[in-house]
Amino acid sequence: MTLPKHCLRMDQLSKAQIETLIDQALSFIDRDAWQIRKNTRCAGRSVGLVFDEASTRTRCSFHMAAHALGAHTIDVPQQTSSAQKGESLIDTLCNLAAMWVDALVVRSADTQWVNQLDALDPRPCVINAGNGADEHPTQALLDALTLVDQLGAVDRLKVVMVGDIKHARTAHSQIKCLQRLGLRDLVLAAPPSLLPDELPEAAAHTTSLAEALVDADVIMTFRMQQERMAEATRQGHLQDAAAYKLTAAHLAMAKPQVRLMHPGPVNWGVELCHSLKGHPASLILKQVGYGVAMRMAILCQSLRGL
């Protein structure tokens, strides 16, 4: 199965292509030892990481994934690059391409850079590690991998998304990814001010967290994306969201085997109660491990034809 050269948006990928990535990612995990299977499939390849926003999980797991495939990485934090002298993000990418960097993993607060790649040398593949409040496709794919490996096919699940769905790029990509995989029962539970401007088709939404949680198999929570809120609306958003902070009592309203997910970073005490840290229902740190395997699969597929 051929995949698109670049990984920029979830709607680029068909169900079969997502399943191919999940299958390949699973082949990179030794479940018994809960360890990554290293190999040399991308030996000699180079991966540039160009981030102008903070990151722990995405940046470090792409480093881990590249090294686990025998590739090497070049970190280009925009805080210490020539972006500080006025060089644009696209010019930075063009210069890395001119150095024969094979893959570019890019995170930027700018939503539009994914539409500005025409100027780039066609050789390197580009992976979107987050473009503003728009998309975060590799997080959606690793969350789908987590669900499939932990719970099986997603089409029979009830998934409830809670919190700041409006500003969470992960949620935007995740809705597309899970619906592409056949998810039918998706409920968005948030105050009206934190729902997306364009509500996804075939998803229910409610302001009642208790109503949403009935029979839930999976609860996905999202951080309040304060950095993407206008100053004038931030306090109002935080007040609106206070009623959606999840507690153990909320988990008890869902199915007995409910699983709790969060893409991270978690603001404990804001979207999740401190007592949920280490809760048996939580998949939050497992998601991080699956992230390395999924990013190995994405790099393998992206670097395949070079």
Strands of 158-163's sheet in order across: 204-206, 185-189, 158-163, 218-222, 259-261
Question: 281-287 long-range contacts, Cβ below 8 Å, gap at least 24?
Answer: 281/251, 283/146, 283/150, 283/259, 284/260, 286/146, 286/150, 287/142, 287/143, 287/146, 287/261, 287/262, 287/263
Q: Does the footprint of ligand CP cover residue 263 (CB under 6 A)?
A: yes
Structure tokens at 41: 């499939």
Q: Does the footprint of ligand CP cover residue 267 (CB under 6 A)?
A: no
Nearer to ligand CP, 107 or 158 (CB): 107
Q: Which of 46, 58, 81, 131 binds ligand CP (CB under 6 A)?
A: 58
Q: Which of 265, 275, 277, 304 binds ligand CP (CB under 6 A)?
A: 265
Where in 119-138 is the site for ligand CP (CB under 6 A)? 136
Nearer to ligand CP, 4 or 264 (CB): 264
Task: Report the distance separating Cα 216 and Cα 213, nearest Å.
Answer: 5
Q: Does the footprint of ligand CP cover residue 173 (CB under 6 A)?
A: no
Nearer to ligand CP, 236 or 265 (CB): 265
> How many chain residues are in contact with ligand CP, going by CB under 6 A?
9
Question: Could you tell me the smallest distance in angstroms from the CB atom of residue 64 to ligand CP?
Answer: 12
Task: Report the distance separating Cα 276 and Cα 219, nearest Å.
Answer: 13
Question: Could you tell me the smallest distance in angstroms from the CB atom of residue 221 to ligand CP?
Answer: 12
- Print the binding letters for residues 139-168 with ligand CP: x by CB under 6 A, - otherwise: x-----------------------------
| Stretch near ligand CP under the rule CB under 6 A, chosen from 90-98, 110-118, 237-245, 261-269 | 261-269
Task: Report the distance separating Cα 252 and Cα 149, nearest Å.
Answer: 23
Question: Could you tell me the smallest distance in angstroms from the CB atom of residue 193 to ligand CP?
Answer: 23
Nearer to ligand CP, 58 or 174 (CB): 58
Nearer to ligand CP, 68 or 97 (CB): 68
Residue 28, CB-side half-sphere exposure with 13 Å CA sphere: 30
Question: Could you tell me the smallest distance in angstroms from the CB atom of residue 299 to ligand CP?
Answer: 16
Task: Report the distance separating Cα 218 and Cα 204, nearest Å.
Answer: 15
Q: Are strands 259-261 and 218-222 parallel, antiparallel or unpaired?
A: parallel
Nearer to ligand CP, 97 or 272 (CB): 272
Whats the size of the chain, residue-wise? 306
**Amino acid at the residue 305:** G
Nearer to ligand CP, 73 or 139 (CB): 139
**What DSSP element (H or E) covers 109?**
none
Nearer to ligand CP, 55 or 193 (CB): 55
Q: Does the footprint of ligand CP cover residue 79 (CB under 6 A)?
A: no
**Amino acid at the residue 144:** A
Where in 28-57 is the site for ligand CP (CB under 6 A)? 55-57
Mapped onto helix, strand or coil, the DSSP state of residue 143 is helix
Token pair 């070049």: residue: 74
Q: Does the footprint of ligand CP cover residue 264 (CB under 6 A)?
A: yes
- Residues near ligand CP (CB under 6 A) are 55-58, 136, 139, 263-265
